[in-house]
C-alpha cells in the first residue's frame, strides 16, 4: 500500500461510524484503508474516470458486496448524492480544491452533516 496515502488516511482520524465521502478515489487504495477502519460507517467514493471506478470497485469488492462501500462515476460538479449526509469528506490531489477551494467547498455544502470535517491534500507527485 502507498505510504503517502497511509499518511493521509492516518490524518483523517476516522471514527468507526463515520459516513465518508472521497472525492477522486482513483484506484481505490485510500478507500481500502478507510473501509478497514469503519465498522458501522460507510464510504461513498466518486471519480470521473470510468476506468478508475472500475479498478476501485474490483479492489474493494468485499466492501462493496457488504454495503460498506460504493463507487460512483461522477465529478464533484455533477454528482447527485440526494439527501445523504457525510461526517467526513476528503480529497487527495483533486485540482478543483487547489484552483477554486471556495467553489469546491460550496459544492459539498448540501451533503455535509453537522460538524462535518473536510480534509484536502495536495502534494506534488514524486
DSSP labels, 12-80: H---TT-EEEEES-TTSHHHHHHHHH-SS-EEEEEES-HHHHHHHHHHTHHHHHHTSEEEEE--TTT--
* pTM over 0.75, yes/no: yes
CATH code for the structural domain at 3-121:
3.40.50.150
Q: What is the pLDDT of residue 3?
A: 87
Asked if residues 39 and 16 have their Cβ atoms less than 8 Å apart, the reply is: yes
Measuring CA to CA, which residue among 11, 58, 9, 56 is closest to residue 34? 9
The DSSP call for residue 1 is -
Question: 68-110 pLDDT, tens per residue?
Answer: 999 999 999 999 999 999 999 999 999 999 899 999 999 999 9
Q: What is the pLDDT of residue 124?
A: 63
User: For the chain, which residues make up each domain, given as ranges?
Assistant: 3-121
Amino acid at each position: 500500500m502507498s505510504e503517502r496515502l497511509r499518511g493521509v488516511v492516518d490524518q483523517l482520524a476516522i471514527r468507526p461510524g463515520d459516513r465518508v465521502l472521497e472525492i477522486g478515489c482513483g484506484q481505490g487504495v485510500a478507500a481500502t484503508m478507510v473501509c478497514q477502519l469503519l465498522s458501522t460507517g460507510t464510504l461513498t467514493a466518486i471519480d470521473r474516470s470510468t476506468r478508475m471506478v472500475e479498478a476501485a470497485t474490483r479492489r474493494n469488492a468485499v466492501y462493496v458486496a457488504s454495503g460498506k462501500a460504493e463507487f460512483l462515476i461522477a465529478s464533484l460538479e455533477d454528482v447527485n448524492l440526494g439527501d445523504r449526509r457525510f461526517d467526513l469528506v476528503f480529497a487527495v490531489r483533486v485540482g478543483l480544491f487547489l484552483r477554486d477551494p471556495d467553489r469546491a467547498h460550496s459544492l459539498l455544502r448540501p451533503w455535509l452533516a453537522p460538524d462535518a470535517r473536510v480534509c484536502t491534500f495536495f502534494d506534488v507527485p514524486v
